Amino acid sequence: MKRIFIPLMVITIVFSSCEKIVFKPDQASSDPLTNFDYLWEELDKKYSYFELKNLDWNKARDYYRSRLNANSTEEELFDVLAAMIDTLRDDHSNLFSPFNVSSYNIAIRKPANFNWRTLNEYYMPNMWSTGVFSHDFLDSGRVGYIRYGSFMSEFTEEQMDFLLKRYKDTKGIIFDVRENGGGSVFNVPKILKRFTQTEVTAGYFITRNGPAHSDFSERENFIVTPYDGIKYLNKVVVLCDRGSYSATTLFSLATKAFPNMVLMGDTTGGGGGLPNGGQLPNGWTYRFSVSQLLDLNGKNFAEDGVPPDIQVSFNGNDLTRDEILERAIAEIK
């Protein structure tokens, strides 16, 4: 048996040692400066909106790195990294530690333009719930109202069929995405394809593809192809506000390319970039935007928010009225 075990042991030892030789050691580290440098470099290599936001990233490194040293605590490290990320003014850029998550929180920097109770109590007390949608008639049946609270929420084509059949005889639909913080981009064309009978190019995407802040891929098209089934081609008023973020900003920007759609309310929160994700040497994770959303003229303003076609504000002093909703009804009339 020795003849078997000796070579077996030799082979096992040699292979195990080879693995340690051919790969560099694990780079796990709790050193604050190592973690700072790693995050700064990843952002420098891949973040997509330095130019739009006019950020001097080298200056940011000098400023924030000087606030750390080898003995900085985890809490101090988190605060410094979070502050550096916040200079991006981007809610797609966050730091995730076991004890806290950083967020720029765009939605609370402007007034809210939505109050669920106002809608429910004073306009539609018996609203229907179909899957993720809340909906009802307004203005004596002449207007349909559909509320979609999150693009994270999945829905079926049958549910969309049901909604559009119910409101097929209305003059217009109000599609409310205020305070919709985004979610799956695939749900954006899934809704929009119901509102057109022709193919619509609604925007473009570009993604970082090189180390210079201006290195981007070729434009990728965002095209809405019409649904082969029940559609709604009357006027659609989309309600948005600063809480309409990420996929909802994509949705809002796309409405500009639809002749039967009107965007109303406040400028959206933005979040035009696709966030990627990564991990620091200390195990914390992060995400930040690596792409840009462009309008049909190739402009990237959507990152800072899509302005509405009709600006209307919600007056929080009188919670019996939703001024944005009433303006939308008037627009359809």
Partner 1 sequence: MILSKINTCKSGLMLMLLFVGFNQTKAGNEVAASDSVKPAVRYWQSSIGLSNPSYRDFATSPLFYRGVGFNISTGWLKRSAKKERLFDMLLSVAPMSATIPASNYLKRAVTSTFAQMSLRYVQLYEIKSLSQHKNKYKAGFALHATQNFRMNRFLQNNAAGVENVSNVMLTGQVMRDVSRSSEKKVNLLFFKPTLKPVKRDLRFQLNVGVLNFNYRPGYAFAYEGYLTSNTSPLLWILNNYSWSLNGWRTQGELELFTYLEGGNARSWTYVWSAMHIPGKFENFQMAMHQIKYTVFFQRTKKKS
| Binding track, positions 222-261, relative to partner 1; x by CB under 8 A | xxxxxx----------------------------------
CA distances from 82 to 63, 88, 202, 278, 284 (A): 13, 10, 34, 15, 12
Question: Distance between alpha carbon 70 and the CA centroid of its chain, in Å?
Answer: 35
Distance CA 246, CA 253 (A): 11
Residues 113-172 that bind partner 1 (CB under 8 A): none
Distance CA 181, CA 150 (A): 6
Q: Is 210 in the site for partner 1 (CB under 8 A)?
A: yes
Residues 280-309 that bind partner 1 (CB under 8 A): 281-283, 285, 287, 290-291, 293
Q: Which stretch binds partner 1 (CB under 8 A): 52-60, 117-125, 127-135, 185-193?
A: 185-193
Distance CA 318, CA 300 (A): 36
Q: Is 17 in the site for partner 1 (CB under 8 A)?
A: yes
Q: Which of 197, 217, 311, 313 binds partner 1 (CB under 8 A)?
A: 217
Q: Which stretch binds partner 1 (CB under 8 A): 131-139, 155-163, 202-210, 230-238?
A: 202-210
Q: Which of 124, 152, 185, 230 binds partner 1 (CB under 8 A)?
A: 185
Q: Which stretch binds partner 1 (CB under 8 A): 8-16, 140-148, 163-171, 237-245?
A: 8-16
Would you tell me how many other CB atoms lie within 10 Å of the CB of residue 166? 16
Q: Which stretch binds partner 1 (CB under 8 A): 24-32, 143-151, 262-270, 303-311?
A: 24-32
Would you tell me how many other CB atoms lie within 10 Å of the CB of residue 156? 12
Cβ-Cβ contacts under 8 Å for 201 (sequence gap 6 or more): 221, 222, 223, 257, 296
Q: Which is nearer to partner 1, 101 or 319 (CB)?
A: 101
CA angle, 180 as apex, 175 and 186 as ends, to 5°?
A: 80
Q: Is 278 in the site for partner 1 (CB under 8 A)?
A: yes
Q: Is 26 in the site for partner 1 (CB under 8 A)?
A: yes
How many residues bind to partner 1 according to rule CB under 8 A?
67
φ and ψ at residue 256, rounded to 5 degrees: -65, -25
Q: Is 2 in the site for partner 1 (CB under 8 A)?
A: no
10 token code pair: 């030799």
Q: Is 22 in the site for partner 1 (CB under 8 A)?
A: yes
Q: Which of 51, 75, 157, 169 binds partner 1 (CB under 8 A)?
A: 75
Q: Which is nearer to partner 1, 281 or 307 (CB)?
A: 281
Q: Which of 178, 190, 235, 256 binds partner 1 (CB under 8 A)?
A: 190
Q: Which of 66, 98, 198, 214 binds partner 1 (CB under 8 A)?
A: 98
Question: Is there a contact between 138 and 114 (Cβ–Cβ < 8 Å)?
Answer: no
Question: Distance between alpha carbon 17 and the CA centroid of its chain, in Å?
Answer: 46
CA distances from 69 to 31, 35, 74, 86, 197 (A): 9, 11, 11, 21, 60
Dihedral over alpha carbons 28, 211, 246, 297 (to 10 degrees): 180
Q: CB of residue 319 vs partner 1: minimum separation in angstroms?
A: 37
Residue with tokens 């109770």: 117
- Residues near partner 1 (CB under 8 A) are 3-4, 6-8, 10-12, 14-19, 21-23, 26-30, 38, 46, 73-75, 96-99, 185-186, 189-190, 192-193, 205-210, 217, 220-227, 273-279, 281-283, 285, 287, 290-291, 293
